[in-house]
Every structure is written in C-alpha cells, then in structure tokens.
Structure 1
Amino acid sequence: MFAYDLNYGDEVAVLASAEGSLVATGISKDSRNYTFRIWLEHGDSDQIRQILTEFGGMGCLVEAYSAKLMALSCPADAAQAVADALQSCELEGRFVYETGRQRTR
C-alpha cells in the first residue's frame, strides 16, 4: 500500500543485510496490478461505503488503512478506467488520490 512501484501480487527479490534483516532489491515478477491511494478529508463511513461499492464494483481490491487513507489494487486491464473514475471524483472534491505505479516496466 505504501511503496511506490510495488503492487499487490508482485514478487520481490531480497537479500539479507549484514544485520540479518531482508532488504528488497527489486521486482522479480510483476503482477501487472496497479495501486492507487485515496485520502479522504473527513473519512466518514458513507464516503468509505461509496468507495467500496464504486471501486469494488470495478474489480478493485479495497483496503482501508485508516478512516482517511484507503488503497485500491486493480488489474492492468481496469487501471485506466479506475484512474479516470478517481480523477473525476477528485475533480468533484470527494477526495484526492495518487497512483503507486510511478514508472513503466
């Protein structure tokens, strides 16, 4: 949800650090999913339900991190329609959003 260019279902290559913890070094298999983050100004339950209904209906997986921050994951074939819908919602003042996929692979 929080990392740019890392999406639901991606497989990550890792190496052990000198301290023993794993460190991601890159994507070994791209799931072709897209991640979007939504920030709600008020985060009321009606807004959350609307997002669940609207974007869940478009095939997105929806995750709520808090009452104000949500994430969407969708397959590549739905990404443009989802991005268009998100932009329309942002222009209507419902919320602000960003994409987690910053580069093309």
Structure 2
Amino acid sequence: MDELKAFVAVVDSGSITAAAEALELTISATSRTLARLEDKLQTTLLRRTTRRLELTEEGAAFLEYARTILATVDEAEEQMAARRLQPVGRLRVDAATPFMLHVIVP
C-alpha cells in the first residue's frame, strides 16, 4: 500500500520532492519506495530526468489500477468505521406489561 500511495503521490504532484512532502517522508525514502515498486513489477513506471517525470505506457496503465485499489481500500475502511457506529446485538427493554403490550409491541 505504501508503494501505491507513493506512486500516485509522485504522479499527482509531478515530483518526488513534492510527493515526499505530502507523504511526510524523506525524498530518498520516496525514491526508494518507487524503485522498489518498479522492481516488483519488473518495469519502469516513470521516466526520470533532472527536469521532469514522465509516465511510461506501463506506468499509465498501472496508475489506473493503483487509484482503483487505493479507492477500494479507503471505501472498505469507511464501511468498517460506519459499522462500528451502528448498534448491534440484542436490545432488552424493561417496562410495565401494559406499556409493553399497547405501545412497544404494536
């Protein structure tokens, strides 16, 4: 997940330096994370020059998947957080019998 976040942050910000600041990492850590992802995928995702970064064809294709994966994980985390907010389990009500029969049961 860290590698995907770093990759998307680099693409979105346009530079490793800006991505590192956004992720609160060092520039070298961000660069190493990106290199580790490229090693895992055995492809070059970004062409780096001293002046700019450019997505490769493989990088552009992978970017779509990375964004989808990150969005899905965020959605899953939100769903789990929402489930904790809803009460679950058995509800027991202690009330007088006439009140139960005429108000709660109907």
Q: TM-score, normalised by structure 1?
A: 0.31
Q: Could you say which structure has the higher strand fraction?
A: 1
Q: Could you say which structure has the higher helix fraction?
A: 2
Which structure has the higher relative contact order (CA within 8 Å, separation 6+)?
Answer: 1
Bigger Rg over Cα: 2
